Chain A
């Protein structure tokens, strides 16, 4: 089957090529560079040490940065702490988002769009503004520069990401299921826990992924709202690139963060798929 170069095919390449090319150069390539950079040695004045000096192959590739990372437990501690903060944020977001998502899902169409818009609007403001607002609020309460402040800020910034997927999922629930459960003798809490909640799991997993993963990589919130003991992975990375100028180590940290993110994303997809199997009746 020879598909000739007719106008149809030409159109296909004309549309696919430019964005693909752009993204390969400015997204894929840089990602690969990070991997390469993590294997290099730091330069004298920052950046990366050159591979060749005067024709000779000096500063070979090295695993120093990795050894550095695993050598000192403090870095692992920071990783673990970041995970913990991300997890806590996600759970709080689920708790706060659920009633709101429920309300939106059960509202008539007109009001639903308005309610959704109201959830999104704060998100449209700048990250820094939202963080700044919490600086104002927490300062007088003496809660500034504490882990509480960090979590509060994280929740505040990422809440809309949990509300949207959750309400989209809840919207699709067939009300007859709850009526059937009630008819069969289930009380309020049972109905929620045995019918609604399991069916909403795909939405919960989507939302969790949209919260957990960005939280892992944040640095502005810990820096502005947290104390010196509240540093997260993001802060470490920022330090390497802009303060310490140890780029290979920064690249290593980024790579490890990427791996962590990919793992979480993969888990979320698996979990969503599994929970989705039982919920096909919903959609």
Chain B
């Protein structure tokens, strides 16, 4: 018969992310410089976390990321045909944009394709995500996730060959749609799967145990719970579709032009600030979509691992 004494409490240092709890009494008092080298964890000092040079370097990287885009946006308002130096403020490039028929048609195409392909990808991707989480199939993860990981050009080329040689399909809207769905399924699947992984598995069994058929379980339990993930997945697929260049480039053929393809030809032929303008608008669009997606499923973005 053993009655054990509880082990003595050991001080556990708090990790950097939890911020703000003072070291438990009893930890060694070492002479420490104010900002610990090597990026020592936040201990009782929320907000500080690293040396000044790390802050500087990080800021530099952020600047590196945003400066080029800022230049694009800025010069979309430049009153000069050349993107060389600032002349004056104007919105005439936007005006030109709105009357550019080719551009408008390309935009309409892109939107249509994005809506249809992301809807389809969301449905198929949700199925894939549920299947991968629940049944652990062998083939499906490979099929869904490889298009995401491999260079886009390989996907574009293989679809081009497939459409033309096997299906003898004229390249156009259909081919683009199919291509977009193919690479988007993986994204949606991962988002849905990670949402499911974070939930207590037994609630689905509980639903069936309490009298729900598999369909009723899906309708009343699964669907409401993965709705945020579906929304995030849809938005991500939408963004991917609107922005896609490489794959669309190969499967679009001559008939259909999407926004990125239009931008591409504009860059190659004539570089006017009209390109800046359309870029700015496109960025605004995808920006708001990504922010919305982040709202719905913040760890969807982490799910890229």
A-side interface residues toward B, CB under 8 Å? Answer: 7-8, 10-12, 15-16, 18-20, 22-24, 26-31, 33-34, 37, 47-48, 96-97, 99-100, 102-103, 105-109, 112-113, 116-122, 124-137, 139-140, 156, 159-160, 164-165, 168, 171, 174-176, 178-179, 181-183, 187-188, 191-192, 195-196, 206, 210, 213-214, 216-220, 224, 234, 237-238, 241-242, 247, 250-251, 254, 257-258, 261, 265
Contact = CB atoms under 8 A, between A and B. Distances in A.
A16 B47 CA distance: 47
A26 B150 contact: no
Contacts of A210: 149
B61 A34 contact: no
B151 A8 contact: no
Nearest to A35: B158
B128 interface: yes
Contacts of B181: 22, 26
Contacts of B134: 12, 15
A124 B239 contact: yes
B66 to A, nearest CB: 6
Nearest to A38: B161
A156 B64 CA distance: 8
A238 B37 contact: no
B68 A168 contact: no
Contacts, number: 309
Contact of A164 (B130, B147, B302): B302
Interface in B7-59: 13, 15-19, 28, 30, 36-42, 46-47, 49-50, 53-55, 57-58
Pick the 5 closest A-B CB pairs, nearest first.
Answer: A217-B151, A175-B41, A133-B68, A30-B158, A188-B37
Given A108-B17, A120-B301, A220-B245, A251 B66 contact: no
B179 to A, nearest CB: 8
A31 B155 CA distance: 8
Given A122-B69, A127-B245, A241-B160, A174 B282 contact: no
A128 B158 contact: no
A195 to B, nearest CB: 8
Interface of B: 13, 15-19, 28, 30, 36-42, 46-47, 49-50, 53-55, 57-58, 61-62, 64-69, 71-72, 75, 83-84, 124-125, 127-128, 130-131, 134-135, 137, 139-140, 143-144, 146-147, 149-155, 157-162, 164-166, 178-179, 181-182, 185, 189, 208, 213-215, 218, 239, 242-243, 245-246, 249-250, 259-260, 263-264, 267-268, 271, 275-276, 279, 282-283, 286-287, 289-291, 294, 298, 301-302, 304-305
Contacts of A165: 305
A23 B38 contact: no
24 contacts: A20-B131, A22-B181, A30-B158, A33-B162, A47-B165, A99-B58, A100-B58, A106-B50, A107-B16, A107-B49, A108-B42, A126-B242, A127-B243, A128-B264, A132-B276, A156-B68, A164-B305, A165-B305, A179-B40, A206-B305, A210-B149, A218-B153, A237-B157, A261-B154
Contact of A117 (B41, B264, B294): B294
Contact of A27 (B146, B239, B302): B146
Contacts of A16: 127, 131, 135, 137, 140
The SS class assigned to the A binding surface is: helix
Contacts of A97: 61
Contact of A241 (B250, B271, B291, B305): B250
B72 A136 contact: yes
Task: Name the residue in B68, B178, B185 with the highest tally of chain A Cβ atoms < 10 Å from its Cβ.
Answer: B68
A11 B216 CA distance: 11
B289 A124 contact: yes
A15 B111 CA distance: 28
Task: Name the residue in B16, B139, B152 with the highest tally of chain A Cβ atoms < 10 Å from its Cβ.
Answer: B16
A116 B299 CA distance: 11
A133 B13 contact: no
A245 B147 CA distance: 25
